[in-house]
Amino acid sequence: MTFRDDGHAAVDWAADYLERVGELPVLAQVRPGDIRARLPQSPPEQGEPFEAVLRDLDEILMPGMTHWQHPRFFAYFAVTGSEPGILAELLAATLNSVAILWRTAPASTELEVTVLDWVAQLIGIPRGWHGHIEDTASTSTLAALIAARHTTGRNVVVCSEHAHSSVEKDARMLGLEVRKAPVDDAFRMRADALELDDVAAVVATVGTTSTTSVDPVAPIAERCASAGAWLHVDAAYAGSAMVCPELRWAFQGVERADSLVVNAHKWMFTPMDCSLLWTSRPDDFRAAFALVPEYLRTTDEAAFNISEYGPALGRRFRSLKLWAVLRCYGREGLQSRIREAVRLAELFEGWVRDEPGWEVCAPRPFSVVCFRREGSDEENEAILERVNSSGEIFISHTKLNGGYVLRLAIGSERTTEDDVCRAWAVLRDGG
Ligand SMILES: Cc1ncc(COP(=O)(O)O)c(C=O)c1O
């Protein structure tokens, strides 16, 4: 078999998978260790044909897959690896570009800053910010906190108790102290309760992980400006929704942020991983990260090395898949998919609200519904375990005000109204 034949087989495999993924159990039906026990303990002595890899993908690995591409994946934040994105990943691996410097990857470097500029226009953030791609929001926020500490010389980070755990983990890795600001009854950071005198950075979240609540960025920005604190906005999930003007209210004040993260791999139909990080203070970022040893010095005077704006030196060609998605979907394609997810979430929320014995537990700004059945935490946990083990749907949970709450997140472009109906039937009928 040649590369071409194996390639055709791999693309056929991918096309077949996407066609039938909705018929598979969404949550893997295996126990810890099951897959490992079926894999050889040592590598082969002689090389095998690629078709052996495809065969074992089917026979050994597929039973251990939780299917994030499944239309009834409703846990955490549902995502989409779209078809243009999948194909562009193949091309990026083919080119295997390593963007350590502009000269090692001029196309990748210049496409990356261009697509970040395109997305900035799509989601309504100011022109002229420096944008580049990190692997995950955890790394993007780490980079922002490094820049904030370097710039302010301070060692305290403030976020709300609803901020993502990555903020606390990043702060721990950097030896920074974390202070949690209180939230109001809609789970939004209280700007009036901030004390920022010795604070390096405030992380405000637009679309928190539990409820997708929106911290009030404008008054937080005001407080940061007067205290000399860096403002980082974590819009990992909800940032993509800003492509819809009717949802833009959530970005009020973001133009005053020092840095911003939006995960294209969450709700911009781009395969994992693609975290977009912008800063309005590129010189401060560069001061924190630029370190050019002799062997990386070049005479390309006007060149722009993205590796001087973040932790990684070698950078892969992630912009190619985002470019493919933006080209193939366009602004309208992105908007219609986001709007459909929000419409489906609103529909589901209405069904829960209208059903005696069930309640909605938090406001729903976007496409995530927090809800529970009247009864104990244990009963709601049992519902989650039961529906997930059915293989029909996969949902996750959180705790709000100390109580156990179910979460249904809509974000896959493959999810239809029928899928959401099925989810509600599975929940309600056995609930
Ligand atoms: C608001 C928010 N920030 C950050 C993250 C971390 O994202 P990543 O997995 O890209 O590090 C998440 C993950 O769900 C999130 O919801």
Residue 400 CA to residue 370 CA, distance in Å, equals: 9
Identify the helix (H) or strand (E) that includes residue 55. helix 50-56
Best residue among 79, 189, 209 to mutate for probing ligand 1, ranked by most atoms within 8 Å of CB: 209
Contact present, 189 and 218 (Cβ < 8 Å) = no
Question: Which pLDDT value is given to residue 303?
Answer: 83
At 429 the pLDDT is: 87
Q: What is the pLDDT along the chain (431 residues), one digit of tens a residue?
A: 699 999 999 999 999 999 999 999 999 999 999 999 999 999 999 999 999 999 999 999 999 999 999 999 999 999 999 999 999 999 999 999 999 999 999 999 999 999 999 999 999 999 889 999 999 999 999 999 999 999 999 999 999 999 999 999 999 999 999 999 999 999 999 999 999 999 999 999 999 999 999 999 999 999 999 999 999 999 999 999 999 999 999 999 999 999 999 999 999 999 999 999 999 999 999 999 999 899 988 888 778 899 999 999 999 999 999 999 999 999 999 999 999 999 999 999 999 999 999 999 999 999 999 999 999 999 999 999 999 999 999 999 999 999 999 999 999 999 999 999 999 999 998 65
pLDDT of residue 1: 65
188 contact partners, CB below 8 Å, separation of at least 6: 160, 213, 214, 215, 216
Query: Rounded to the nearest whole angstrom, what is the distance from the C-alpha of residue 208 to the centroid of ligand 1?
Result: 9
Which residues have any ligand 1 atom within 6 Å of their CB? 77, 136-138, 164, 166, 205, 207, 209, 234, 236-237, 263, 275
- Which atom of ligand 1 is closest in space to residue 77's alpha carbon? 14
Instruction: Supply the residue whose CA is at minimum distance from atom 5 of ligand 1.
Output: 137
Task: Please give the Cα distance from 408 to 26 (Å, whole number).
Answer: 14
Query: How much distance in Å is there from the Cα of 373 to the middle of ligand 1?
Result: 27
Distance 357 CA to ligand 1 centre (A): 32
Residue 431's pLDDT is: 54
Pocket test for ligand 1, best of 76, 141, 166, 266 (most atoms within 8 A of CB): 166
| Cα-Cα end-to-end distance for the chain | 52
Q: For the chain, how many residues are written?
A: 431
C-alpha 231 – ligand 1 centre gap (Å): 17
Can you give the pTM of this predicted structure?
A: 0.97
CA distance 411 to 368: 9
Ligand 1: centre distance to CA 406 (Å): 19
Q: What is the pLDDT of residue 338?
A: 98
Q: Residue 407: its pLDDT value, please? A: 98
- Confirm if 425 and 385 have CB atoms less than 8 A apart: no
